Amino acid sequence: MTACTICDSDRHPQDAAGVCAGCRSPDRSAPSTVLTIALEAAVPLHILGMQRMPWQEVERIAHESADIVAAKGDDLQFGGRKGSAAMAFNGLARGLAALAFCPGGVKFAGLRFAASHPDFE
């Protein structure tokens, strides 16, 4: 099985275009754009905020975000209790913002985020 052309996962079957079920829109015809559009807006805002924080705080946020996505990620993909998907989305956006400071940035769902932190300039 090859990796999804959007999320790079090889865990789920892909359609003819190489897109897995989790990345397809509800009508199952095209990649989901709601999540990517929301991330395109949210991640840069989190990056701006993190550039003003000490690096230790960014590291703490990265670890916290990983825990949130691990615990609530299914709610973001499949729905869940009220507020749970929002918590998962914010954890994902903050986690991607923290990862953007890594060398080369981070790629997720066809998006790429890269930034530099003042503590390392």
For residue range 28-42, list pLDDT tens digits in order.
444 467 888 899 999
- Give SS3 for 106: strand
Across the strands, what pairs with 106? 113
- Give SS3 for 112: strand
Residue-wise pLDDT tens digits, 12-67: 666 666 666 666 655 544 446 788 889 999 999 999 999 999 999 999 999 999 99
Kindly indicate the confidence band of residue 4, based on its pLDDT and cuts at 50, 70 and 90. Answer: low
Model pLDDT, residue 11? 66
- Report domain extents, the chain: 1-32, 33-120
Distance CA 82, CA 29 (A): 27
The amino acid that residue 68 corresponds to is I
User: C-alpha distances in angstroms, 12 versus 4, 8, 24, 44, 99?
Assistant: 8, 10, 12, 29, 24
- Give SS3 for 35: helix
In the chain, where does DSSP find H-type helix?
A: 34-50, 55-78, 84-99
